[in-house]
């Protein structure tokens, strides 16, 4: 065979070299590119937003067109919860549980520190080829922030914008510091939510690598106080137009052990309907202003061409009472404080669905990993919601275990919730609610003879869960083993 014949054979359509080349270097058409690309992640987190503050999810008073849009285009979980915390700043353990997928008992310093042994979900996505970007609130240590994110802008380290420095109108923020020291923060002249939306939009404009997916974490401070909705955007609410919650009380009917905490001293006792309407008007105004900024981010995502290939999560770190049960804050186990909105939208996610699966915020870690085909570490306690999403069934947890400090413990199973209190000179108080008949938790059934067996059943389940999870409280001991409320330092040092 001469050279010409050899070349013809090798480079013919049936030649092995051509075949091998095609196998090694496949055609890069648009369909092939789409098939190989992993979805982006846009994670939208608000601060202190209760489950019942989205128009599309049943609140006719509030104006939330962009949150409503996500509800229409995704799956909304109507039973999403935060597990609780050991001290009043619930957002710190809540966000740490979200990041690590770990239960409260496994957090270090109640979430103030995330050790390297507890990989965050952005850290895992970063290791799997994602560009990870963050803006907004980070309530844990700075080293864990830098392990999680490869970039960031307008970053807030701490719990809340401070009143004495003009709050949301003058937030103290940092730019990304690869050293992790963050020594050069500065006060900004834009409202906090605008700063975070601006940073998100700038990131989307500059994200040019179509072969590298992104995970963008946007953690707003709103609607956390100071509740000062800006005058130039969002929706304005007149207090007289705000209906009182049906479970409004002028004060809580008994001492729950923490009625003098910061959240509970904003308004004097007894609280009048006028006081609570005014506070709700400000609270709703803050939710509408952050809704406006979410809309700006969604618009920028569309303009980037990445909207159809992005999984969008919208949720909040914990709820807030704002007059319900005579309370203002989130240091309790009632539905308004432990339940938050949760919507997941994006490629292949069923649209305009409602799912009643029991879930924790920490379940989002394995859920996002399974939706993107990424393996998550064995340290994760969360349970994936992927099956519940894709099969449109309430496939979630059998029950939920809820905690606050050493004062409150609760269990929620089927349509019932049991709450036990360790207060009033160690004389324990019990509440039982039938949530199907009484979703606003107004009728305590614990002392009714007909519900004695239910109280015993749920108490036994609660006791078993506390023991199995390593809870530092013991229901069988006086004062659950702690004769007074934990101080801040004691709470943080339960697991250093």
pLDDT digits (tens, 9 = 90+) for 32-64: 444 458 999 999 999 999 999 999 999 999 999
DSSP string covering 96-113: HHHHH---GGG-BGGGTB
Report whether 376 contacts 121 (CB < 8 A).
yes
Q: How far apart are CA 368 and CA 59, in angstroms?
A: 28
Count of residues for the chain? 496
What is the pTM assigned to this prediction?
A: 0.92
- In the prediction, which pLDDT does 338 show? 98
Side-chain half-sphere exposure of 408, counting CA atoms within 13 A: 27
Superfamily name and number for 38-397: Alkaline Phosphatase, subunit A (3.40.720.10)
| Nearest one of 451, 396, 449, 383 to 418, comparing CA atoms | 451
- In the prediction, which pLDDT does 395 show? 86
- In the prediction, which pLDDT does 211 show? 80
Low-confidence ranges of the chain (pLDDT < 50): 1-35
**CA 287 centroid distance within chain:** 15
E strand or H helix at 434: strand 429-434
Q: Where are the domains of the chain?
A: 38-397, 402-492
- In the prediction, which pLDDT does 36 show? 58
Q: Determine phi and psi for 449, rounding to 5 degrees.
A: -55, -35
Architecture of domain 402-492: 2-Layer Sandwich (3.30)
């Amino acid at each position: 065979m001469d050279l010409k014949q050899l070349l013809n054979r090798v480079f013919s359509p049936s030649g092995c070299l051509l075949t091998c080349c095609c196998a090694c270097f496949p055609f890069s058409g648009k369909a092939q590119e789409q098939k190989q690309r992993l979805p982006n992640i846009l994670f939208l987190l608000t601060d202190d937003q209760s489950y019942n503050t989205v128009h599309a999810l049943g609140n006719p008073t509030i104006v939330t067109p962009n949150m409503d849009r996500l509800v229409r285009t995704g799956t909304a979980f109507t039973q999403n919860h935060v597990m609780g915390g050991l001290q009043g700043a619930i957002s710190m353990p809540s966000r740490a549980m979200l990041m690590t997928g770990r239960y409260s008992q496994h957090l270090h310093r109640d979430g103030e520190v995330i050790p390297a042994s507890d990989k965050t979900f952005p850290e895992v996505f970063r290791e799997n080829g994602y560009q990870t970007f963050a803006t907004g609130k980070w309530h844990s240590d700075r080293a864990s922030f830098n392990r999680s994110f490869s970039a960031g802008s307008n970053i807030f380290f701490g719990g809340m914008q401070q009143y004495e420095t003009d709050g949301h109108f003058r937030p103290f923020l940092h730019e990304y510091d690869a050293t992790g020291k963050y020594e050069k923060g500065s006060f900004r002249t834009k409202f906090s939510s605008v700063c975070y939306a601006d940073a998100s939009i700038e990131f989307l404009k500059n994200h040019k690598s179509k072969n590298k997916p992104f995970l963008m974490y946007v953690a707003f401070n709103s609607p956390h106080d100071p509740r000062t909705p800006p005058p130039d955007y969002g929706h304005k609410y007149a207090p007289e137009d705000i209906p009182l919650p049906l479970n409004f009380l002028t004060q809580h009917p008994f001492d729950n052990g923490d009625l003098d905490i910061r959240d509970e001293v904003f308004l004097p006792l007894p609280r009048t309907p006028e006081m609570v309407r005014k506070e709700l008007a400000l609270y709703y105004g803050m939710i509408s202003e952050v809704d406006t900024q979410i809309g700006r981010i969604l618009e920028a995502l569309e303009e980037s061409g990445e909207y159809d290939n992005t999984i969008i999560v919208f949720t909040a770190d914990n709820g807030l009472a704002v007059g319900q049960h005579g309370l203002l804050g989130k240091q309790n186990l009632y539905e308004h404080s432990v339940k938050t909105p949760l919507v997941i939208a994006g490629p292949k996610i069923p649209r305009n669905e409602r799912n009643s699966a029991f879930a924790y915020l920490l379940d989002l870690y394995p859920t996002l990993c399974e939706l993107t085909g990424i393996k998550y570490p064995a340290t994760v306690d969360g349970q994936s919601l992927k099956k519940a999403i894709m099969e449109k069934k309430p496939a979630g947890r059998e029950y939920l275990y809820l905690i606050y400090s050493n004062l409150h413990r609760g269990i929620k199973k089927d349509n019932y919730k049991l709450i036990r209190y360790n207060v009033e000179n160690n004389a324990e108080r019990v509440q039982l609610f039938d949530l199907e008949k009484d979703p606003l938790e107004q009728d305590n059934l614990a002392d009714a003879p007909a519900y004695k067996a239910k109280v015993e059943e749920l108490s036994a389940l609660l006791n078993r869960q506390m023991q199995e999870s390593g809870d530092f409280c013991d229901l069988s001991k006086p004062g659950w083993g702690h004769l007074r409320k934990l101080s801040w330092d004691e709470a943080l040092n339960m697991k250093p």
